[in-house]
Amino acid sequence: MSVLHDGIGSDAMNDNTANDNTTNPEKPNDSNGSIIPETMHAWQVRDQPGNIDDDPLEWVEKPVPQPGPGDALIRVLACGVCRTDLHVSEGDLPVHREHVTPGHEVVGEIVAVGPDAGIDVFGNRFEARVGERVGAAWLRHTCNECEFCHSGKENLCQHSLYNGWDANGGYAQYMVAPIEYLYSLEPLLGGGEGKGKGKGDGDDGTPYSLETVAPLLCAGIIGFRALKRTGLLDGISFDGLNLEAARDAIAERLGHKPVLGLYGFGGSAHITAQVALALGMRVHVLTRGKNAQRLALKLGCAFADDAYEMPPEPLDAAIIFAPVGAIVLPALEALRPGGVLSLAGIHMSDVPTLNYEKHLFHEKEIRSVESNTRQDGREFLAFAAAHHIKVDEHPYPLDQAQQALKDLKAGAFTGAAVLLP
C-alpha cells in the first residue's frame, strides 16, 4: 500500500519546525502493517560541533519526519559510519544545518512516499514502492539546471545538498530523502524469505547483508570515483561490464599490469582495493595500522607497509584515503612518470610545500575527488552486485554511534563500522 502524505513535509532546507508536523490524524501504516510512530530516536550535533571525545552528538527523541513532494520516508535498517560523519561532528566541515543528524550510508525500507514521487529528470526516474529497500547516500540533491548538471558532472553542482550535512541523515530510526537520489538495493540484498538477513559473504545466496551493504553507499561509491579519477579506468564501460575484457584493456593501454598504491586502508580503501584487484591491478597499501596492513594482505594486496615508506615498485596511480596532507609528498614520489595521485577525502590537513623536481615534474598529476554522480553510484553498485566484495563490517547498536565515531578516530577497528537500530 502506498501511503501518501499531505505534502506538508520536512525538507532539507526548511527550518526545524517543519519536522514538528506529526499530527497527521490518520496514522499511516508501513508495509508490515505496523503503525509509523509519532516520535523516534536520533543523534544530532549539539549547538556546536566539537572534539568527538567531548561528545558533540546528543541522543534525542523527536518527531518522525514526513515526506514532502518527491520524498520517501525510510525506516533505517542500517547506517554505515563514515569519516565524513566525524568531520561533521567535529566541525572540520562548516555547519550547514544546525543540530543535523549525521549519516549518509543509509540502508532503509520505504514506508511512505510524498506526493509527486517518481519524477523523471535526466533519465533518473525512480518509482518509489513502499516496502522496497533502498540506499540513501551522500549526494541528496542537485539543481539539474547548471552547466555541471547538464554535462554529466552533477557532483560539481554548486547547489548540491548532502545527506547528514545539509539535511538529517541516517543516525536515526527514520529519515526522509528525495526519491530521485535513492538507489534500489534489492539486487544486492537478494529476495525471498529472510532477505537481507544472510551472512553477506556471498555463500548463502544473499549477496550482502544489511550491514555489509551499508558501507558500499559511500565508502564504496566514493572509492570507486577516486579510482576512476586515477585515469586507470578510462575507456572502460561499466554498462554490462566484461571483467576479462576490462582487465585486458587496462593492461594493454599501459603496456603492463597496472600498479596502484592506496594510502590509508579503512572503510573506503578496503572496498576499493577489491575493485582494483578484480580489474587485474597489483595493489600496494601504505598505512600505519598493523591490523589494516594484515587485512590488506589477506584481501590479496601484494604489499603493505607504513604510509611514509616507498612501495616496492613505481606506481601507475595512487589514491590517498587518509585525511593527512603530508602523505601527498611520499605518494607523489612513488609515482612513475605520468602517474596520477587521486585524493579521495572531503577534508585534508594542509599539504606541505612540494619540490617541483621530486614531486611534480615528469607530468605527475594531483586530482581531488568531489562527491560522486548518480552514474558513479549505479555503476559501482552494479559492479558490487556482480562481483562480491567482502566488507569487513563492525556492527554497533544505533545508540552507540558516538562510540563508533570515537573508535573510528582512534583506529580501533579495521574496515567499516555500521549502526543497527
Site string for Zn ion, 132-171 (x = CB under 5 A): ----------xx--x--x-------x--------------
Q: How far apart are CA 173 and CA 404, in angstroms?
A: 17
Specify which residues 163 forms β-bridges with.
167
**Are the C-beta atoms of 45 and 382 separated by less than 8 Å?**
no
| Residue from 82, 167, 179, 188 binding Zn ion (CB under 5 A) | 82
- Shortest Å distance, C-beta 383 to Zn ion: 18
Phi, psi of 186 (to 5 degrees): -55, -40
86 versus 304: smaller Cβ distance to Zn ion: 86
Alpha-carbon Rg for the chain in angstroms: 21
Please report, as residue ranges, which positions from 201 to 230 form the binding site for Zn ion (by CB under 5 A): 218
Query: Which grid coordinates are listed for 255?
Result: 603496456
Which residue, 180 or 316, is less far from Zn ion as judged by CB? 180
Q: How far is the CB of 214 from Zn ion (least distance, A)?
A: 11
Neighbours of 257 (CB within 10 A): 12
The letter for the amino acid at 380 is F
What residues between 84 and 113 interact with Zn ion by CB under 5 A? 84
Binding to Zn ion by residue 18, rule CB under 5 A?
no
How many angstroms separate the first and last alpha carbons of the chain?
Answer: 24
Binding mask 272-291 for Zn ion (x = CB under 5 A): --------------------
CB of 247 or CB of 406, closer to Zn ion: 406
Residue 214 burial (CB count, 10 A): 36
CA pair distance 342, 225, nearest whole angstrom: 10
Nearer to Zn ion, 85 or 316 (CB): 85
Q: How far is the CB of 255 from Zn ion (least distance, A)?
A: 35
Quote the least distance from Cβ 337 to Zn ion, whole Å. 33
Kindly tell me which of 80 and 207 has the beta carbon lying closer to Zn ion: 80
Helices (H), 48-105: 83-90
Residues that bind Zn ion (CB under 5 A): 82, 84, 142-143, 146, 149, 157, 218
